[in-house]
Each structure stands twice: as structure tokens, then as C-alpha cells.
């Protein structure tokens, strides 16, 4: 059991931290014996625990007691863990003997066996990541996941056995959500506007520039010129509209569920849109123009969500947008992603007030990576029910000249790093590929096909946004109950949810390098005894179980 001694204003973030690090914990009670105590405040008496983690940048009594000398930096620092740099936001105390914000110590006899002095406030870091998020310069760091990994590592190094529900579905190392923001449904709807003129420039002069710079091939250049020449025939209805997105995605994603975010109202740029290009935010179509296609996609197992215009700042307008999509599809939408990824600090509450189950706006336009520092679905601290499905990989961020502007080989290397982290840590990797990215003049379709192949090879479970959020919701509803006075015998309660398959995993960490996994459908109570060399599990229905060892 982990006891947590934190400031009263940190209650919400502590609760969310332990939904992401799903392991038994409680608010610290003085005089009670714990396996681990995590303290961001000075406790009235020395905790009785096998491991004490003291966290905070201000001076603590443990510093003087164990002669931990250091100084506070206010311009940020970092920690290295598992080959990653973990940025520390705000004040941090760096200790002289280690040169970092982390210093191990040996606690006094009778109180604890080991201790770790952390020179930053762990829960303030988590709060920052779940609210403001990370700047693009730190996008490559899964900082929140790494904070969890460090805490887990300290606990296991202290010889404490740990029961955990990891963010990995049984039989798969992680989840993948393939998503599409549908901003255009064809070039035929754009005549003599900035979209048409921009396409003509990029598919003629622009493609020549790319060819001279070695950033495209002769074959793609010819295809772009052919598309430009065909434009009058597209308008006349004599040629195929090469920007039509749905048939191409249905073909390359055959058998894989995807989530399509559709514009609710055409011609609306929205209110409070920043930037000089605000007038160009309005779309030339809306969901009513593609209602038959949307229903056909839903029949094939895909999900239709809202590509919101004003929901990010208005619950009332958010309800109107949801109602418009529901009228077209016949089903209330669960999820939303805001057009242009617009959001502010009040957005989570507005989206919750509009009735959405989840949002998928937290991500970057200019790069790929971890805006919230995590691959996990999380609950924004301002909400009670709304969950966030974070966005990680976006086509435009990879290839636009004004963004990363990577070659396909470079983009593959960047994506492979995110895939490898998801394979190691679990969670969900959310991919956004836009409507016309497969077509002239972008030609990002071949890369997308190879990316899907990489994700399949990694063994991921492909899910819609709604399915992924439901799976994490089932994990969030798991509760731990200690049986008797034992520190190692746990009764674990879950809730059945057939729509959230596959099963959860109960993982018992027996050492830093050895763990035992039990696949559990969460429909029945499970008792786990972690004291034995091999875990003993008792459930009502053994047919739902699979036991294996992971090292």
C-alpha cells in the first residue's frame, strides 16, 4: 500500500495520478505502517514505511537530517531516465552530491529502510502536464509516463512487491487509434477560392521546386501535373475527384476501425479564432452532405465524431454541433476534436458541459509527440466525466514545409520512436491523417500505408476513439481492497463491459526485472496473493483467465 501525504489543493491531481499509475494507495494516515510513503509536505512524524519518497523544491527536514545539500533553480532543469530527458517545469532543488534533483538516502532505523529525495513537487509536475501541457520543444518526452516509471522503479528497487493494472490490453502491448479530420470532401466544392489556387500553385510550380530539391519523384510530379490538368473535368463531373477521401481510407484500412471527425456546419469559421488566417477556417461542406457515407462507415465498425467549430469555448454551441452530427448519423456522437486544435484552459469544462464523453484535441500542430506527456487516456483536472484521448502523430506536422518538413525516412524514424515507447509503456497511440493527404499534391498516402504496417507489426490493438476510451474507462473503474491485515493479499473489483474488449491485465511486480501477468475480464472479483513465488489468483470464472510471466 502507498500512503500519500500531499497538500489539500493537490487532491484532484493525486487521484488522477493513481488512475494512470493504477496501483493500491490511500491518503497517508500518521501512525499507520505502509510499504511506501510519497510526501509533498513534511509529515508530523517519521512515516513507518519500507520506502519514503520526499518530493518538493523547498527545504525539508529530511535534508538537514541526512545532510542533503543543494540549491534551487527557477529556470527549469531535467532528469534522465530510461534513455529519455524528463523536463522539470518550475522550481527544482538540485543536490550537490548527485548533480540532479534526485538524491537517495538511508532512513533512520525504525522509520524506513530507504528513501528518495526528489527536488521537485511530483504532483505539481503532473498537474502542469495535464493542464498547460508541454511546449513543442519538449514534445519528444513522455514526461508524465516517465514520472510514473521512476516512482515504480524506486518502489521495486526497495524490494516492495507491487500490484498494478498496466495501461496495456491483454494480448497487445498498446492501443492504436486511426483518426481522420475531414476538412474537405473534394476539390469540386472549391472554385476560384484560396483552396483551389493554392492547389494549382503547389501542384505545378511547387512540385517543380520539390523535384529540384529532391523532395519528390518524377512519378509524383507527373501525377500532380495530371491532377492539375484534370481540374476542369472534375468540375464538369467528367473526371474522378482526386480529393475524395472516404473510398481510399476504406481500402487501405480494410478490417481496421477508424474514427472520422466531421464538420457539423459549413461556412462557419467560428468565434474567437486567433491568427491572420481565421477567415479560412470555414469548411465548404458539413456532415449533412455526407450523411449516407457516414452511416455506411458506422455500419462497417468505424466511429463518427464531431470536428468542432465553437464547442471549445461554448457548451451551448457544442451541444448544437453534437445534435447536428446526430441528426445526420442517427447516433449521438461520443467524441470531438476541435478544428485547428483550438483550446484554452476552459475548454474541458465546456466540452463536458456539451455532453461529450471524450475529447481528442490535446496534441501539437507543429510537431509530433506528447503534449500531455503521456500515451494514456486521462481525465482533465477541470472535469468529472470527460476523458482526453491525446493526439500523438499528425501528417501535417511531419511533412508541411512550415512545420517539421521531414523526408519520409526521417518521418519513419520519428514515428518509430513513438511506437517503441508505446510498445514498452502501453497506452494508446493516436494517429491523425487528414482527408486529402493521400492525394495530389501531398502524396502522403504511401507513408501512411507503411505506418499502418509498422503498427500492425508491433502487435497493437486497433480501436476507434470510443472503444479506446471505453477500455480505459473500465480500467479506471477498478478498485483495490486489502484483505485482512496482509500487505500482499488484494481483492480487485471491476465492472464488465463487453464493448471494451480485450481484457485488462493484473500485473504483480515481484522484482525490478520479474513480473507475473494475469489476463482478467473485470467481470468478476479476483483475489491476488503477491507473497508467493508464483502468484495465486482466485476468481469465479477461470475460463476468463490467462496467467503468464513477463520479465
**Predicted local confidence at residue 76, as pLDDT:** 82
In percent, the amount of the chain with pLDDT more than 90 equals: 81
pLDDT per residue over 284-316, tens digit each? Answer: 999 999 999 999 999 999 999 999 999 999 999
The SS3 call for residue 393 is strand
Q: What is the mean pLDDT of residues 104-113?
A: 67
Q: What is the mean pLDDT of residues 249-259?
A: 96
User: Which grid cell is 158?
Assistant: 526497495
Strands 428-432 and 175-182, by their bridges, are parallel
pLDDT per residue over 263-292, tens digit each? Answer: 999 999 999 999 888 989 999 999 999 999
Residue ranges of E strands in 263-332: 303-308
Backbone angles phi and psi of 358, in degrees to 5: -150, 160
The SS3 call for residue 182 is strand
SS3 annotation, 142-154: CHHHHHHHHHHHH
**Predicted local confidence at residue 46, as pLDDT:** 74
How much is the pTM? 0.94
Peptide bond into 163 cis (omega under 30): no
Q: What is the mean pLDDT of residues 382-399?
A: 97
Give the separation between CA 445 and CA 436, rounded to whole angstroms: 9
Q: pLDDT band for position 544 (50/70/90)?
A: very low
Range in 95-99, 147-151, 342-346 with the lowest mean pLDDT: 95-99
Helix (H) or strand (E) holding 105: strand 102-105
pLDDT per residue over 457-500, tens digit each? Answer: 999 999 999 999 999 999 999 999 988 776 778 889 988 775 55
Which has more confidence, 10 or 32?
Answer: 10
Range in 376-390, 391-405, 529-543 with the lowest mean pLDDT: 529-543
Say if residues 96 and 69 touch (Cβ distance below 8 Å).
yes
**Predicted local confidence at residue 126, as pLDDT:** 98
Buried (b) or exposed (e) across 129-163, using 16+ Cβ within 10 A? bbeebbebebbbbbbbbbbbbbbbebbbebebbbb
Beta-carbon contacts of 8 under 8 Å, excluding residues fewer than 6 positions away, are none
Give the separation between CA 23 and CA 37, rounded to whole angstroms: 13
The closest alpha carbon to 243, from 445, 439, 492, belongs to 439
Give the separation between CA 388 and CA 378, rounded to whole angstroms: 5
Strands 358-359 and 84-88, by their bridges, are unpaired
Neighbours of 35 (CB within 10 A): 19
**Predicted local confidence at residue 71, as pLDDT:** 92
338 pLDDT above the threshold of 70: yes
Q: pLDDT band for position 539 (50/70/90)?
A: low
Bridge-partner residues for 94, per DSSP? 71
Strands 92-95 and 70-73, by their bridges, are antiparallel
DSSP symbols for 485-522 = T-SSEEEEE----GGG-S-EEEEEE-SSS-EEEEEE-S
Peptide bond into 502 cis (omega under 30): yes
Which has more confidence, 534 or 330?
Answer: 330
Say if residues 314 and 344 touch (Cβ distance below 8 Å).
no
**Predicted local confidence at residue 541, as pLDDT:** 47
Q: Spell out the domains of the chain, with CATH numbers in brackets.
A: 2-162 (3.40.50), 175-186+243-469 (3.20.20.370), 477-550 (no CATH)
Backbone angles phi and psi of 105, in degrees to 5: -150, 160
Q: What's the distance, Cα to Cα, between the start and end of the chain in Å? A: 23
The SS3 call for residue 70 is strand
The closest alpha carbon to 23, from 483, 545, 490, 538, belongs to 490
Range in 434-448, 499-513, 537-551 with the lowest mean pLDDT: 537-551
Say if residues 365 and 341 touch (Cβ distance below 8 Å).
yes
**Predicted local confidence at residue 452, as pLDDT:** 98
Largest Cα separation within the chain, whole Å, is: 86
Burial label for 288, CB within 10 Å (0-12, 13-18, 19+), is middle
Q: pLDDT band for position 543 (50/70/90)?
A: very low
**Predicted local confidence at residue 231, as pLDDT:** 96
- CA atoms in the 13 A half-sphere facing the CB of 74: 1
The closest alpha carbon to 84, from 410, 373, 349, belongs to 373
pLDDT per residue over 432-450, tens digit each? Answer: 999 999 999 999 999 999 9
Q: What is the mean pLDDT of residues 536-540?
A: 56
210 pLDDT above the threshold of 60: yes
- Whole-number mean pLDDT of the chain? 92
Say if residues 475 and 167 touch (Cβ distance below 8 Å).
yes
User: Which grid cell is 77?
Assistant: 532543469
**Predicted local confidence at residue 538, as pLDDT:** 58
547 pLDDT above the threshold of 50: no
Beta-carbon contacts of 154 under 8 Å, excluding residues fewer than 6 positions away, are 51, 53, 116
Q: What is the mean pLDDT of residues 534-539?
A: 56
Measured N-to-C along each axis, helices 408-425 and 445-457 cross at an angle, to the nearest 10 degrees, of 30
**Predicted local confidence at residue 26, as pLDDT:** 95
Distances (CA, A) of 440 to 224, 255, 280, 281, 409: 5, 26, 21, 21, 20
Say if residues 228 and 203 touch (Cβ distance below 8 Å).
yes
Q: What is the mean pLDDT of residues 87-96?
A: 94
Q: Which residue has the cell 493542464?
A: 131
Amino acid at each position: 500500500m502507498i500512503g500519500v501525504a500531499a497538500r489539500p489543493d493537490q487532491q484532484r491531481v493525486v487521484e488522477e495520478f493513481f488512475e494512470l499509475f493504477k496501483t493500491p494507495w490511500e491518503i497517508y494516515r500518521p501512525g499507520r505502517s505502509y510499504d511506501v510513503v510519497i510526501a509533498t509536505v513534511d509529515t508530523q512524524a517519521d512515516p513507518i514505511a519500507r520506502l519514503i519518497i520526499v518530493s518538493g523544491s523547498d527545504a525539508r527536514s529530511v535534508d538537514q537530517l541526512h545532510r542533503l545539500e543543494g540549491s534551487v533553480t527557477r529556470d527549469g532543469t531535467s532528469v534522465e531516465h530510461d534513455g529519455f530527458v524528463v523536463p522539470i517545469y518550475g522550481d527544482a532543488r538540485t543536490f550537490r552530491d548527485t548533480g540532479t534533483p534526485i538524491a537517495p538516502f538511508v532512513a533512520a532505523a525504525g522509520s524506513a529502510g530507504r528513501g528518495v529525495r526528489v527536488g521537485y513537487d511530483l504532483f505539481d509536475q503532473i498537474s502542469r502536464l495535464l493542464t498547460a501541457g508541454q511546449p513543442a520543444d519538449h514534445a519528444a518526452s513522455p514526461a508524465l509516463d516517465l514520472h510514473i516509471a521512476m516512482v515504480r522503479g524506486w518502489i521495486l528497487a526497495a524490494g516492495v512487491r507491487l500490484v498494478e493494472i498496466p495501461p496495456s490490453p491483454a494480448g497487445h502491448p498498446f492501443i492504436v487509434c486511426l483518426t481522420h479530420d475531414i476538412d474537405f470532401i473534394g476539390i469540386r466544392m472549391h472554385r476560384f477560392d484560396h483552396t483551389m489556387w493554392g492547389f494549382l500553385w503547389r501542384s505545378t510550380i511547387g512540385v517543380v521546386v520539390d523535384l529540384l530539391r529532391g523532395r519528390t519523384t518524377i512519378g509524383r510530379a507527373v501525377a500532380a501535373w495530371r491532377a492539375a490538368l484534370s481540374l476542369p473535368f472534375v468540375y464538369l463531373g467528367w473526371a474522378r475527384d482526386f480529393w475524395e477521401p472516404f473510398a481510399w481510407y476504406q481500402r487501405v484500412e480494410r478490417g481496421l476501425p477508424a474514427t472520422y471527425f466531421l464538420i457539423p456546419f459549413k461556412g462557419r469559421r467560428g468565434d474567437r479564432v486567433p491568427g491572420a488566417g481565421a477567415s479560412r477556417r470555414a469548411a465548404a461542406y458539413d456532415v449533412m452532405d455526407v450523411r449516407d457515407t457516414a452511416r455506411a462507415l458506422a455500419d462497417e465498425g468505424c466511429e463518427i465524431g464531431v470536428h468542432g467549430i465553437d464547442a471549445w469555448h461554448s457548451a451551448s454551441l457544442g451541444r448544437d454541433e453534437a445534435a447536428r452530427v446526430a441528426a445526420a448519423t442517427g447516433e449521438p456522437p461520443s467524441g470531438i476534436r476541435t478544428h485547428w486544435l483550438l483550446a484554452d484552459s476552459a475548454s474541458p469544462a465546456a466540452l463536458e458541459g456539451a455532453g461529450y464523453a471524450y475529447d481528442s484535441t490535446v496534441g501539437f500542430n507543429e510537431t509530433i509527440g506528447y503534449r500531455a506527456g503521456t500515451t494514456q487516456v486521462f481525465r482533465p483536472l477541470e472535469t468529472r466525466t470527460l476523458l482526453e484521448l491525446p493526439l500523438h502523430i499528425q501528417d501535417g506536422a511531419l511533412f508541411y514545409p512550415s512545420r517539421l518538413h521531414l523526408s519520409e525516412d526521417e518521418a519513419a524514424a520519428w514515428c518509430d520512436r513513438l511506437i517503441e515507447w508505446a510498445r514498452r509503456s502501453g497506452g494508446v497511440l493516436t494517429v491523425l491523417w487528414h482527408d486529402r493527404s493521400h492525394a495530389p499534391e501531398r502524396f502522403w498516402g504511401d507513408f501512411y500505408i507503411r505506418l499502418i504496417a509498422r503498427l500492425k507489426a508491433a502487435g497493437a490493438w486497433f480501436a476507434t476513439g470510443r472503444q479506446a476510451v471505453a477500455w480505459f474507462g473500465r480500467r479506471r473503474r477498478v478498485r483495490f481492497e486489502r484483505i485482512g491485515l496482509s500487505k500482499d493479499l488484494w481483492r480487485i473489483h471491476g465492472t464488465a463491459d463487453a464493448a471494451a474488449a480485450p481484457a485488462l491485465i493484473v500485473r504483480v511486480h515481484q522484482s525490478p526485472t520479474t513480473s507475473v501477468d494475469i489476463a482478467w475480464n473485470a467481470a468478476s472479483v479476483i483475489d491476488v496473493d503477491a507473497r508467493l513465488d508464483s502468484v495465486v489468483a482466485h476468481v469465479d470464472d477461470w475460463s476468463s483467465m490467462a496467467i503468464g510471466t513477463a520479465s
